[in-house]
Amino acid sequence: GIQVEQSPPDLILQEGANSTLRCNFSDSVNNLQWFHQNPWGQLINLFYIPSGTKQNGRLSATTVATERYSLLYISSSQTTDSGVYFCAVRTGGGNKLTFGTGTQLKVEL
Amino acid sequence: DADVTQTPRNRITKTGKRIMLECSQTKGHDRMYWYRQDPGLGLQLIYYSFDVKDINKGEISDGYSVSRQAQAKFSLSLESAIPNQTALYFCATSESDGRLPPGELFFGEGSRLTVL
């Protein structure tokens, strides 16, 4: 099956710093989503981005499907950005969303 | 109110007990899913349903069963819970407009299950 690798696995930032999270995948995809799992376990949809670039406030994402990667940018990070960021992809006509193992982000004051 | 609601949010039970997790949605989506998350890991698909008459096994369906009572309701059952089913369980929905693949997934808030 498709492999989804996220980097870095862990990241500690000072409040106000910027960061880039990466998601590499091993096969063509037709669905890619970024999620934020907050410390209470809730999964929050960030982006549905099988290709192209999207922005939402301090967050933006870019997927280059032909090169099999996606990037999530967090600017001016805040402590509320802490948690785990997951990339998830779907291939072909399948119904399974395959998740990466996540990037654990901690934003400190 | 959340568009995808799971109950209970937290449950502690004993080995051998039957447990049901319920999911209801107000998004009007045809497709519903149950995922499991173990600590420090991503999510794995247990079962999914395209409509009330369509139920499909995911990658880790052993030990679980599901029921799609209506378009808006999809429940997950553990007939005889065991400790390694301790996990965080998520229900999700996606729309179906006749095209493949299905689109964006929307998740419920999760149900934390502990089996002693």
Q: Does position B102 have pLDDT exceeding 80, yes or no?
A: no
Q: Do residue A43 and residue B56 have CB atoms under 8 angstroms apart? A: no
Q: For B110-115, what is the mean pLDDT?
A: 96
Tell me how far CA of residue A108 lies from CA of A14, A22, A36, A37, A98, in angstroms: 5, 21, 17, 17, 30
What residues in A contact B110, CB-CB < 8 Å?
41-43
Q: Does position B75 have pLDDT exceeding 70, yes or no?
A: yes
Write down the pLDDT at residue A93: 62
User: For chain A, which ranges sit under pLDDT 70?
Assistant: 92-95
- B71 token code pair: 């378009």
Q: Do residue A95 and residue B43 have CB atoms under 8 angstroms apart? A: no
The 3-state DSSP class for residue B42 equals: coil
Q: How far is A29 from chain B (nearest CA, A)?
A: 10
Average the pLDDT over each of A59-73, A81-95, B22-36, B94-108 and give the range with the smallest value: B94-108
| A31 touches B: beta carbon within 8 Å | yes
Write down the pLDDT at residue A94: 63
Write down the pLDDT at residue B95: 79
- Residue B96 and residue B30: Cα distance in Å, rounded? 6
Contact at 8 Å (CB) between A82 and A96? no
Write down the pLDDT at residue B13: 96
- Residue B106 and residue B55: Cα distance in Å, rounded? 19
Write down the pLDDT at residue B99: 53
Write down the pLDDT at residue B40: 76
Average the pLDDT over each of A92-101, B14-23, B95-104 and give the range with the smallest value: B95-104
Write down the pLDDT at residue A76: 97
